[in-house]
Structure 1
Amino acid sequence: MSVSRRHPRRDEYERLREQGVARRRAAQQVGVNERTAKDWDWGVRKTGSSRTYPDGRRVDYNTGVTTQVPPSLTALDRELHPRFLTLAERETIADMRRVGQSLHAIGRAIGRPASTIKREIDNHASADGVYRAYAAHRAWTASRPRPKDRKLLRDGRLRDFVVARLRQRWSPQQICNALVREHPDDQEMRVSAETIYQALYVQARGALKREVATALRTGRTRRRPHRRPDQRTPRFVDNMVMISERPAEVADRAVPGHWEGDLIMGAGNASAIVTLVERTTRYVMLGHLPGGHTAEEVRDVLVDLVATLPAHLRGSLTWDQGAEMAAHKQFTVATGIPVYFCDPHSPWQRGSNENTNGLLRQYFPKGTDLSVHGPADLEHVAQELNGRPRQTLGWDNPAERLRDLLTTT
């Protein structure tokens, strides 16, 4: 028989609540999420991916399946916040009421105001005026949930806005921040990123089912825990200037013009696309590799890409230790741009580029032939990415940030 373990911070949280501290502040003080604090207040139990509500509903948030747990005395009398009447207290009310005790006497016996006792009896007494503890407790338990219609289940401007941005491959977080920007005075045009994820993952059968396959960059219809990305193995070790020798101005992103680069590979590593990301603006440039990705081919594409940049945006290039950069010295001679190499197994040292490559996989899925995408296709994808608002840019987009650099310098 398994024993439910009490959260180690719950006692401190309940002590704060008894002192009248607001839920959000109490949750912050003990270091738990506000949703967890709300569950404690309302008697919701969380087990794995499911949540069991006081009325007996159990909801699995991976599958969206709701089941009804048979009621039991244990379920009815499970641990609640002290401000709620327990089954034992209701039994005391019923017993003392039966022998004619006053509301004040009952209140003193259980440590509650007389007004609480009166409200309890008024709300849960039967038609013949008899107060029964078990019936009252069941009725109260069933009345606690206050279900509301899901925002994105209802047709209207909000749902249309969300669906339109999902079709443009915006993330839920980008969408909810765009709502604030575009509708600053309309509180009806508000939805959280989590609500959008819930609509896609949980209520997808009836809410946004058609958008699931293309809306999220992962293409998944079920959530998966975040895991560390697969690590690369080094393939190029000679004559490299390591990232540790890169100027400090590159690391803090204070000066624009420093780039991170990589290749995204097609089916069987037979095709590839060059990806460049500017570290300050997150501006993306894509290079076409129709025939292969040898060091000479990659060198020539990189030279052509950076040739379109003004001199003050040609600071440096950071790459991993891939063999495709064997001609890095020739690239530096042709462009004047130094190349710095990341440490082995350290993709986070090119974090902006790694993130961008993840975004690009929505357009260029793994295991597909990338040679079918011509320069015009790559330019279209780059423009779409550069037009998306980014949290790290204060919800500006990379194209706006690069435009500002070009017009103010």
Structure 2
Amino acid sequence: MQGRHGHLSREQKQLALRLHGKGWRLVDIAKEISCSAPLVGIMARTGRHLDARPFGWEPRQGCLTIDEREQILLGINRGDTFTAIAEQLGRAVSTVSREVKRGGGRCGYSAWRGHERARDKARRPKPFKLASGRLLEEVASRLEQLWSPEEIAARLRLDHADDPEMRVSHETIYQSLFVQGRGELRRELARCLRSGRAARKPRGTTDGRGRIPGMIMLSERPAEADDRAVPGHWEGDLILGEGSRSAIGTLVERSTRMTLLLHLPDGKSAEQVEAAMRAAISKLPSSLIRTITWDQGAEMSKHAAFTIATGIPIYFCDPHSPWQRGSNENTNGLLRQYLPKGTDLSVVSREELDAIQDSLNGRPRKTLGYLTPSEKLAEFLAPTA
């Protein structure tokens, strides 16, 4: 800002001295601090006694410094790209891009004004958005439903598009959970965050499984299943319980991420899995069940009987290639929030599975634009309803 009677403020003088010491031309310094070049020349000759630290303020660690802002300005004046400037600073390109955009773009950017703006913002922090109120209640409720902070934030934008007070970033939700003293979210809600998945087996290892007769490999699956544009192509798997003695089957539709859970209270033999699959798909319209993709587990040794009875082909992934069933693998990770590893799955009732299934199908997915699988399925069915 300007000093009294139109003179340069102490901050402007400090910045001008810094730039002059770095070899900037007087005319460029004058443009940067919004004054005349002769005035800069006078200040440069008479103001060397001033402390060169700008504003008497330094940003907290990780934030842009005045030196970095000056380098951004120099890069802009040279015509450098944001990528080149970011590489020189050792910063992310997005950091440089946001800084310049906030500062008026390439034509209007000022290092001095950018640093002054950052200082003022640091001195006037915004009130913490999740301190209390209806937004807090809704975030807490969805965390208790095992939604991730990113899912919550995105869904709030959809559900409250006309109410800015009911929107919050996922970073703020994480802060409210993990930064001491901020917000009122109960500490136990942190347990609702998704835990990391156990490391997969190296791709080169073997598990001694025998080859299943009559398999049709994934490479022969219809091409329409690959782009997910047509619903009806499912991926299946088992998740195992304590000691691998119990299991639950999962079927996930590739386009909508709709999930069906197979109840296997009496074991995971091929006969029991085949019967559970037939029961699950019997509730679906024929247009929604075209193919199933599974891995080469022994539970699929009755695949031919299933196909003969239902007319639905089963395609098999390559050995140790769970990424070929990506939708199913992701859903299994979500399912582990409800049924952690080590759970005895044989005692989980059909009613409990139905409740978990409904929860999964009512949970927004990033890959669906934060619609839920149920909403996405309704979109597909609407034209034919």
**What TM-score, normalized by structure 2, do the two folds share?**
0.67
For 1:371 and 1:386, locate their aligned partners in 2 and report how far apart those are by CA, in whole Å.
Answer: 23
Could you tell me which residue of structure 1 aligns to residue 245 of structure 2? Answer: 270
* Residue in structure 2 matching 1:294, options 269, 289, 300: 269
CA deviations over 1:79-133 (Å, ceiling 9, x no partner): xxx947xxxxxxxxxxxxxxxxxxxxxxxxxxxxxxx9xxxxxxxxxxxxxxxxx
Please tell me whether residue 339 in structure 1 is matched to residue 286 in structure 2.
no
Structure 2 matches for 1:241-390, cutoff 5 A? 241-390=216-365
Cα 1:144–1:362 change in 2 (3 A) is closer
Structure 2 residue identity aligned to 1:311: S
After TM superposition, give the deviation of residue 301 of structure 1 in Å: 0.6
Q: In structure 2, do the counterparts of structure 1 residues 337 and 300 end up closer, same or farther at CA, with 3 Å as the change threshold?
A: same
Q: Is the 8 A contact 1:273 1:287 kept in 2?
A: yes
> 1:87 is matched with which residue?
none
Match in the other structure for 2:163 = 186
Q: Secondary structure at the match of 1:194?
A: helix
Equivalent of 1:176 in 125, 141, 153: 153
5+ residue gaps, structure 1, are 1-10, 42-81, 85-115, 117-140, 219-223
Measure the CA separation in 1 of the matches of 2:362 and 2:316: 29
Count of aligned positions: 298
Residue 132 (structure 2) pairs with residue 166 (structure 1): no
Distance in 2 between residues matched to 1:266 and 1:388, nearest whole Å:
24
Give the share of equivalent positions with the same residue, in percent.
52
Partner amino acid, structure 2, of 1:183: H
Instruction: Name the CA distance, whole Å, in 1 between partners of 2:269 and 2:149.
Output: 38
CA distances 1:339-379 after superposition (whole Å, capped 9, x unpaired): 11111221111010000001111111110111121111111
What is the letter of the counterpart of residue 159 of structure 1? L
Q: What pairs up with 1:22-61 in 2 under 5 angstroms? A: 26=82, 30=86, 33=92, 37=96
CA 1:368–1:227: 2 relative to 1, 3 Å = closer
Contact 2:234/2:251 (CA < 8 Å) preserved in 1? yes
Aligned partner of 2:57 in structure 1 is none
Taking only aligned residues, the RMSD between alpha carbons, in angstroms, comes to 3.6
Distance in structure 1 (CA, Å) of the matches to 2:194 and 2:305 = 36
Aligned residue type for 2:74 = E
Q: Specify the code of the residue in structure 2 equivalent to 1:368.
A: T
Instruction: For residues 312-346 of structure 1, give each alpha carbon's deviation from its aligned partner in whole angstroms, at most 9, with x where no partner exists.
Output: 11211101111111111111111111111111221
- Give the aligned partner of residue 237 of structure 1: 211
Q: How does 1:209-228 map to 2 (within 5 A)?
A: 209-218=186-195
Q: Could you tell me how far apart the structure 1 residues matched to 2:382 and 2:159 are?
A: 25
Three-state SS of the structure 2 residue aligned to 1:405 is helix
Amino acid at match of 1:157: R
Unmatched 5+ stretches in structure 2? 1-66, 101-109
- Residue 163 of structure 1 aligns with an amino acid whose one-letter code is A
- Aligned: 1:18 with 2:74: yes
| CA spacing shift, 1:142–1:407, aligned 2, 3 Å | closer
The residue identity in structure 2 corresponding to 1:194 is E
